[in-house]
Amino acid sequence: MIESKYWKEDLKILVKDLSPKRNPKRISGKALAVMEKRIVICFLIIRKLMEAKSKLTQAIYKYKDIITYYPVKADARITKLNDIFLERHYDLDSPREKKVDIRFICNQLIHNEIFFLVRDENRNYYNVLVCSEYEQRKALYEISIETISKILLVVADNKQESIIYTFDDRLGDYVISSK
């Protein structure tokens, strides 16, 4: 059993660190890699809390948000040696939108084959270009930092009012849900 309160604290800390700054410093490649790692770890935390079943309410499992995606080009031949050439493989001139749940976003970030943390002209974090190995031959996803922060806060602030334990004879175990 995990105590979700302490796991959720990391989510709020990351939101603060991702938020726009007035005059952000230049950062090194190492600092960028550390931020990428922190994003992945926070979404691992979210997935762990979701899989625990009793740590989050049903609202989290039902939560959806809109993200942008770029479809793979018909003639794309994506391999492990050339997957960084985004403009060659994805139709970056034809962004589309898709409504996805938190689990989908977790899977893209946790199982990423492609992961680029993008900063804007003011050097603030802007979005993440990402796709899992499973999705890379379908689309490249653009998840805004605003969306990432919103999800982190929704999960961090999620409080259960009650936990329901229902014994399932077929499973021989309890099914747990939260309200």
- List, for residues 53-81, the tens digit of each pLDDT value: 789 999 999 999 999 999 999 999 988 88
What distances in angstroms separate CA 34 from CA 17, 38, 104, one per listed residue?
A: 12, 6, 23
How would you classify the pairing of strands 96-101 and 64-71? antiparallel
Is the Cβ–Cβ distance between 104 and 112 less than 8 Å? no
What is the span of the domain harbouring residue 122? 4-178
1 pLDDT higher than 70: no
Q: What is the pLDDT of residue 53?
A: 79
Written as one letter, the residue type at 12 is K
> Binning pLDDT at 50, 70 and 90, where does residue 164 land?
confident
What is the total count of domains within the chain? 1
% the chain with pLDDT above 70: 99
- List, for residues 5-49, the tens digit of each pLDDT value: 999 999 999 999 999 999 888 889 999 999 999 999 999 999 999
The CA angle 10-42-29, to the nearest 5 degrees, is 100
> Binning pLDDT at 50, 70 and 90, where does residue 128 land?
very high
Mean pLDDT of the chain: 93
> Binning pLDDT at 50, 70 and 90, where does residue 3 land?
confident
